[in-house]
Amino acid sequence: MADLTYKTRGDSSPQGKPKVYLACHPEDSTVFDTIADEILTVVNCAVFYAADPITDLDEHRARLREMNLVVIPITETFLTTPSMARDVEFPLTQEHHIPVLPLMQESGLVDLFNRVCGDIQFLDKNATDTTAISYEEKFTQFLTSILVGDELAEEIRSAFDAYIFLSYRKKDREYAKELMRLIHENDFCRDVAIWYDEFLTPGENFNDMIADALNKSALFALAVTPNLVNETNYVMTTEYPMAQKAGKPILAAEIVPTDRATLETHYNGIPENVDAHNVKHLSDALINAFQWIMLRDNDDDPRHNYLIGLAYLSGIDVEKNPERAREMITFAAEAGLPDAIKKLVTMYQNAEGVERDFATAIRWQEKLVEISRTQYEQTPSEDTAGDFLFALDGLHSCYLTVANYTKARALLEEALSFMNALPDWASENFLDRNRASCYSKLGELASRIGNSDAAQEYFEQSNTYASRVQTRIAKEAESIRNFSVNWLADAMNNPEFASLPEEIWNEMKNIFLSSSEEYTFSSRFELAQSHVSLGSTAYDAHDYEAASEHFGKALELLTALIEQNDSAEYRRELAIVHSYLGDIAKQQDRLAEAYEAYMSSYRLLLGLKSETENGEALHDLAAILSRMATLQERVGQKEAALALQQEALMLNRAYAEKNATVTAYETLAASFITIAMLYRDLGAIKEARQHAEVALSIWNELLSLRQEISPLAENCRRITEELLQSLPDDT
C-alpha cells in the first residue's frame, strides 16, 4: 500500500485482517506506536498510518473507503490547525459512513471538539467520572463491536460457497475492484468470495500465500488490461503459470480493450476474453465456470446471511458493499438472530455503513431485550439472566444517548426488580455485581438531573454491594495464595522437581504469589473510586462526617495500590482525595490540617505535571493553589494569598491557551476577578481595575461567540461588572 505504513501483531502480513487507519495531525504522529499497540492488544488487525506525505489523493481516498475503522487522536493541534486528517480524512469518514473512534489526548477540548467535529462520541482516558465505565472497557467494547476477530473471521470465510482468485496488475487496482463488483452483481455469485492480494507489492516473499489462496479457489479470474502485456510482471511470470499448473479454470475478463495477439504471446493457452461489461457474457462465463460446483442452498439461513453480511460490511474476501451488508444483516435480525440484532444496533449507533440513526438503534435494542427475556423464560439460568440484564443495560445506554433519562432510569429499575425475583440458584456474586452496577448508574442519572440526595443514596447502595464483592474476592484471593504456597512447598519436596534451576523456582514463586494481587487489583481501585464518588456527594450535601469516612477509605485503598503500582491514574485520584480532605478541614476551621492536605495534593499534582505536561495537570495545579490561597486569606495573609493566586493565574492562562475552550476561559476569567478582589482589599485600585477589566473582556468575548455559558459563569460576569462599578477612580 504505497504511501502508507502499517503495524500488525508480530509484523505479520496485513492480508485479510480488519483495517484500521490512524488519522492524525503530523505533529501528533508520535502517538502512532502507542495507540497502535493498544488497538492490537484488543484485536488482531492491521493499523495503517501515512508516514510520508500522500502523493496521490484520489488513490488515498479510495483506500480510506476500504478501512473498517478510522481512529483519530484528538489534540488542540488537530482541532485548530489545518491538516489532511482534519480537512480531508475526517470528512470522508462522515460521507462514506466509516466508523470513527476519536481518542481525546488532552483535557478541556470537549467544546472545541464539538464545534469542529460535531456531536459525535469520543473516548477520554483522562476522564475522572468515577461512576462511569472505565476507558479501557469502553475502548475494548468499541473495537470488538466494529472489528471482526479471528474466530468470527474464520467462521465468515467458511460460510462462502466458493472462492475466486482474482489476478491483476497492482496499477489496475481500481479495475480489479470494478470486476469484483461486476461478478457480485450476479445473484448466484453473492456468496462467492474473491481473494485478491489487497496489500501485497512486487518484491515481497508471498509465493506461499498466493499458492494457498489458489489451492482453495475454484476459479482463476484474470483482470485483462493492456498493463498485463506492456512489461514483464508478476501476473505473467508467477500467478498465471501457477494457476495453469494447478489446473484451475481460467476466466479472462477484459475490462479495458487489450491486443489479443500480444496477450496470447505472453499468456500461453489463455481462453477467449469475456467482455466484463457485457452482463450476459460475464454471467454465462461464471455459470459455466461454476457448473461443476454444488452451490449451497442456504439463502434462508439467518446465521449464513449474517456472516455473509459481515463479509460485505468489513470487506472480508469480498468488496465492501454496505448496502448489501445492511440488507443481509437485517434479514438475519428480522429472523430473530441475536448476533445480527446486536450488530445492527452498533451499526446505527456508530454510522457503520449506514446513516447514524439512534431511533432505529433503539428499536432493534428493544427487540433484543424481548428476545433475551423470552430465552430466559424458556431456559432460566444465570447465563440467560445475564444476557437479559446485558440487553436491558444496552437499551439504557441507548436512551442515555438521546438524553431520555426517564426511560433510562426505568430500565435500571426493571433490572433491579428482575434480580430481586431471581430464584436461589443465582449466586451472590452475580447479584451483587449487577446490583452495584445498576445503583451506580442510577446515581449517575440522579447527578445529571441535579438530585444530589438521591445520588448519594444510590451511590451508597452501590458501594455496599461492591464492598461485598470485594470481600469475597479478597477471601478467594487468599485461598489462591494459600494454595499456591502449599503447591510450591509440595513441589520443592518432590524429587521430580528438585533439579530445576533456582531462577525457575523464583519465577514460579513470583507467578503464583502474585496471582492473588492480580486478582484483586482492579476491584480495589474500583472500590476506591466508589468511595470518592460517595465522599464528593456527601461533601456537596455538607455531610462532612460521612464525606470524611468515605475519603478516608479511599485514601487507604489508593495508598496501598500506589505502593504496588505507582501509576499516574492512582496518584491523580489520591490528589483529589487529599484536596477534598483539605476542604473538609477548612470548613471545620482545622486550618493547619487543611494546609497539610492541600500540600499533599499539590506535591502529587506537581509530579504529574512534570510527567505528563497535559492541560489537566495545569488545571488541577491551579485549583489546588487557589484553595491554598483561601487559607491564607482566612488567617489575614492577603499578600501571600495574592502570590498564590497569581501563580494559579499563570497556570490557568497556560491551560486556556492550550485548550481554547469556553470552560477554560471561564476559569481564566474567574482567576482574574479573584485577583482583582484581592488587589481591591489591599488598596491597589489600579491593579484591581486592570484585572477586572480583563475578566470582563473575556466574559464579553465568550458572549460574542454565542457559546453557552453556565449560570455560575453568568453570575461571575455580573460580579465583575459590579466590582468595576464599585471601584473608586484610581486617579
Instruction: Give the pLDDT mean for 457-471.
Output: 82
Between CA 731 and CA 729 the distance in angstroms is 5
| DSSP 3-state of 638 | helix
At 711, the pLDDT band (50, 70, 90 cuts) reads low
Give the pLDDT confidence score for residue 519 in this predicted structure.
Answer: 44
Mean pLDDT of 324-333: 94
Q: What is each CA distance from 431 to 145, 389, 440, 573, in whole angstroms? A: 26, 11, 14, 28
Residues 652-680, mean pLDDT to the nearest whole number: 83
Is pLDDT of 645 > 90? yes
Give a yes or no: residue 211 inside a domain. Answer: yes
The answer, yes or no, to whether residue 583 has pLDDT greater than 90, is yes
Question: So what's the pLDDT on residue 372?
Answer: 95
How many structural domains compose the chain?
4
Residue 470 scores a pLDDT above 90: no
Given 426, 449, 472, the domain boundary residue is 426
CATH number of the domain enclosing 187: 3.40.50.10140
* pLDDT attached to residue 489: 55
Pick from 651, 657, 663, 586: nearest CA to 619: 651
Provide the pLDDT for residue 483: 53
| 344-354 pLDDT tens trace | 999 998 888 88
Please give the angle made by the CA atoms of 659, 649 and 691, to the nearest 5 degrees.
110
Contact 538, 550 (CB under 8 A): yes
Q: Evaluate whether residue 218 is within a structural domain.
A: yes
Alpha-carbon distance 606 to 226, whole Å? 66
| Range with top average pLDDT, 317-321, 377-381, 724-728 | 377-381
Those residues with Cβ within 8 angstroms of residue 72's Cβ, 6 or more apart along the chain or in another chain: 22, 23, 24, 78, 85, 90, 100, 101, 102, 103
- Domain range enclosing 533: 435-565
pLDDT at 614 over 70: no
Arithmetic mean of pLDDT, 405-414: 93
Phi-psi region of 646 (alpha: psi -120 to 50; beta: other; left: phi over 0): alpha
Give the angle 35-36-41 at the CA atoms, nearest 5°.
Answer: 100
286 and 184 within one domain = yes
Predicted local confidence at residue 478, as pLDDT: 53
Please say if the pLDDT value at position 106 is more than 60: yes
Whether 284 maps to a domain, the answer reads yes
Of 137 and 281, which is predicted with more confidence?
281
Whether 63 and 182 share a structural domain: no
Predicted pLDDT of residue 500: 56
Q: What region, left, alpha or beta, does residue 708 occupy, with left being phi > 0 and alpha being psi -120 to 50 degrees?
A: beta
Question: Residue 593: phi, psi to the nearest 5?
Answer: -65, -40
Pair 83, 166 in one domain: no
Q: Specify whether 99 is located in the same domain as 10.
A: yes
Residue 248 lies in a domain: yes
What is the pLDDT, as a whole number, of residue 381? 94
Indicate whether 359 pLDDT > 60.
Answer: yes
Contacts of 583 (CB under 8 A, 6+ apart): 539, 594, 627
Give me the pLDDT at residue 205, please.
46
Q: Is 708 helix (H, G, I), strand (E, B) or coil?
A: coil
Let me know whether 278 and 375 are in one domain.
Answer: no
**pLDDT-based confidence at residue 611 (cuts at 50, 70, 90):** low
pLDDT in tens, 420-443: 999 989 988 899 889 988 998 998
* CATH value at residue 62: 3.40.50.2300
What is the greatest pairwise CA distance in the chain? 102
Considering only CA atoms, which of 50, 52, 49, 33 is closest in space to residue 41? 33
Maximum mean pLDDT: which of 292-296, 299-303, 372-376, 395-399: 372-376
> Is residue 131 pLDDT above 80, yes or no?
no
What is the reported pTM?
Answer: 0.60
Looking at the fold, whether 14 and 107 belong to one and the same domain comes out as yes
CB atoms within 10 A of CB 527: 21
Residue 300, domain member (yes or no): no
**In-domain check, residue 479:** yes
167 shares a domain with 142: no
- Using CA of residue 345, residue 347, residue 351, residue 354, what is the dihedral sign? negative
Higher pLDDT, 556 or 2: 556
pLDDT at 267 over 50: yes
Does 336 fall in a domain? no
Which cell numbers hold the place of 729? Answer: 477612580
**Residues 362 and 440 placed together within one structural domain of the fold:** no
Residues 135 and 11 in one domain: yes
Label residue 518 by pLDDT band (50, 70, 90).
very low
For residues 141 and 21, membership in a common domain is answered with yes
- The string of pLDDT tens digits covering residues 201-235 is 433 445 667 777 888 888 899 999 999 999 998 88
Distance CA(148)–CA(159), nearest Å, equals: 15
Domain boundary among 374, 405, 426: 426
Average pLDDT, the chain: 83
- Mean pLDDT of all residues in 664-672: 86
Q: Which of 254, 273, 290 corresponds to the end of one domain?
A: 290
**196 and 273 part of one domain:** yes
Residue pair 185/279 in contact by the 8 Å Cβ criterion: yes
Distance CA 119, CA 370 (A): 30
Residue 660 confidence (pLDDT): 63
Cα(140)–Cα(640) distance, integer angstroms: 48
Q: Where are the alpha helices (DSSP H) in 160-301?
A: 173-184, 207-216, 234, 240-245, 260-266, 279-290
Is residue 704 assigned to a domain? no
Helical residues (DSSP H) of 497-614, grouped into ranges: 502-540, 544-564, 568-587, 591-612
Mean pLDDT over residues 55-69, rounded? 86
Which pLDDT belongs to residue 515? 47
Q: Per DSSP, what are the bridge partners of residue 193?
A: 163
Confidence grade of residue 469 (pLDDT, cut at 50, 70, 90): confident
Domain co-membership, 283 together with 220: yes
pLDDT digits (tens, 9 = 90+) for 107-122: 778 778 878 887 677 8
